[in-house]
Amino acid sequence: MTGVHDVAVIGAGPAGLSTAYELKRIGLDPLVLEKTAAVGDVWRNHYDGVRLNTGRFFSQLPGNPFPRSAGGWPSRDEVVRVLETFPERGGFKVRTGINIAKLEYDRQRDTWAISSQDGETFESRAVVVATGCACTPIIPQWDGMETFSGEIIHSSKFRNAKAYAGKNVLVVGSGNSAAEIASRLAECAKTVTLSVRTPPHILPKSVFGIPLAGIGVAIRPLPPAWTDGLLNVLRRLFIGDLTPYGLPFPESPVSQQFARTQVVPIVYDPFAEDIRAGSIRVVGQIKKIEGQTVHAFNSIGAKPPEDREQATLNVDAIVVGTGFRSGLTKLIQVPGITTEEDRPVAQGDHEFPDAPRLYIIGHFVPLSGYLREIRLDAGRIARKIRKQLAERERPWPSKPASIHADSGGIGR
C-alpha cells in the first residue's frame, strides 16, 4: 500500500476520465485505476458500425470537443480517440490492468480502503466509482437452454453481423443494443427474429436535424406528463403504429417505464423500417428451448400466457441484449447503498449517508444524453470533493482562555 491519496477514481471510461480531468483542473491529483489493458478498451471493443445516438454537440466531454470531421454522429473510433488521449490532455495518469474487487470505509481513519483482485491495496480520502452500469452481462436462464447446440452470446460480445451470414438468428431484448443488432443482422442473416417481453418506446433519432438529445435538454425541466405527451406525439408522427407488425404501443408512458426498467427508448432509425419490411420478425418472450428449436409466445400482449399462441423457431444463434447488472452491490461494502436491482441509491454529486465522500457517476441515462450527463456530474463531483477535503483538513479553532474562571482573565 502506498500513502493515502486525496481521491481515487475507479474506472477510466468516459465517466472516470471526465471526473479525473475535472479533479486535475481544480488542483487535485487523482489516482485513476482501470481494469482493462488500455484506456478506451471498452469502446474499442464495441461492435462494428456503432455510433453515438446523441449527436456530436450533445456528447461533448470536459475539454474534449469532437472535431467537425467526426460528423454529426461520432463513430466508435472517434470516441476511442477522445478517450485514449484524455490523460495526456488532462495532465493525469491512469494505472491500467487494476481490477478493483471491493471498497470498504474505515471509520477510525475516515478513509476508504480499496482492494484489487490480485491483492494490491490503496487508501484514499474520497472515491469516485465510475465503473459504469454495464459491468456484469445478464443472460436469462431458459428452460432447456443447455440443449441448444448453437451459439448463445450476450450483446456485449457481438462484433460483426457478417459472421452470421446465412444463419437463423434470434435476438432477445427491447433496448437500443438489441434493436440495432437486429437491424444489422437483417442485412446478412438468413432470418432475424426479435424476442420481446415488454413493448419498447421507439423515438426518432433526430427531428428536423435536431438530435433527440437536444429535445431532451429542452424538455427536461417540464413536468413528466408534459414530457410524456410530447414524446408520444413524436412517436406517432415519426415512427407510427407498429402494432400490425407485432410491436404494440407500451402501456406505460416513457417516464414511468424508464423509472421501472431503466431502459431508454429505441432511437436507431432503421429499426422501425426493418420491422415494417418484414426483415425482423417480432415474437414474445421465450418459453423453452429444445435443441435448435426455440419455443416462444407468438405475440406480446395482455393475454395470460395460457391463452397466447406459441411460435416455433429454428435457430442457429441467439444474441442476448437483456442488459447488465452494475456490480456495485459486490464492489462497495456498504449495506443499503444499492437497490435489489443492483442500482445505486445515490448517484452524481449525492452521497449515501453511510458512505462519506464516495460518489457514483455514469448510472443515469436521460433523454438529454448520457455523455452530457457525465460531463455535468463530473464537474459537480470534483468541486464538492475539493470543498470536502479542504474542510476535512481545516483545524478546529482553539477555545479562548478567558472563558475559564480560573484562568486569571475576566474572573479577576
| Sheet architecture: strand order including 286-290 | 286-290, 293-297, 310-314
pLDDT score recorded for residue 294: 96
Burial string for 255-270 (b: 16+ CB within 10 Å, else e) reads eebbeeeebbbbbbbb
Tens digits of per-residue pLDDT, 178-214?
A: 999 999 999 999 999 999 998 999 999 999 999 999 9
Q: Look over the chain and give the mean of its residue pLDDT values, rounded to a whole number.
A: 91
Task: Give 366's pLDDT tier (boundaries 50, 70, 90).
Answer: confident
Residues 367-373, mean pLDDT to the nearest whole number? 92
Residues 63-70, mean pLDDT to the nearest whole number? 86
The answer to whether residues 399 and 42 touch, using CB atoms and an 8 Å cutoff, is no
Q: Give the Cα separation of 178 and 96 in Å (integer).
A: 30
Residue 146, C-beta contacts closer than 8 angstroms, at least 6 positions apart = none
The answer to whether residues 82 and 64 touch, using CB atoms and an 8 Å cutoff, is yes
Tens digits of per-residue pLDDT, 89-133?
A: 999 999 999 999 999 999 999 999 999 999 999 999 999 999 998
Tens digits of per-residue pLDDT, 231-255?
A: 999 999 999 999 999 999 998 999 8
Q: What are phi and psi of 114, to 5 degrees?
A: -120, 125
214 conformational bin, left if phi > 0, alpha if psi -120 to 50, beta if neither? alpha
The answer to whether residues 202 and 223 touch, using CB atoms and an 8 Å cutoff, is no
Q: Give the Cα separation of 56 and 379 in Å (integer).
A: 20
Q: Give the Cα separation of 205 and 60 in Å (integer).
A: 18
Residue whose grid cell is 481521491: 7
Q: What are phi and psi of 21, to 5 degrees?
A: -60, -45
Q: Give the Cα separation of 299 and 245 in Å (integer).
A: 10
Q: Give the Cα separation of 397 and 300 in Å (integer).
A: 67
For the chain, state the CA radius of gyration: 25
The answer to whether residues 114 and 121 touch, using CB atoms and an 8 Å cutoff, is yes
Q: What is the chain's length?
A: 412
Question: Of all helices (H) and strands (E), which one includes residue 41?
Answer: helix 41-44
Q: Give the Cα separation of 357 and 126 in Å (integer).
A: 5
**Per-residue pLDDT at 165 exceeds 70:** yes
pTM over 0.85: yes
The CA dihedral of 287, 339, 18, 109, to the nearest 10 degrees, is -140
Q: What angle do CA 194, 234, 182 make, to 5 degrees?
A: 15
Tens digits of per-residue pLDDT, 295-329?
A: 999 888 656 666 567 899 999 999 999 999 999 99
Q: In order of start, what are the domains of the chain with their CATH numbers?
A: 4-135+326-393 (3.50.50.60), 138-320 (3.50.50.60)
Residue 233, C-alpha cell as written in the block: 406525439
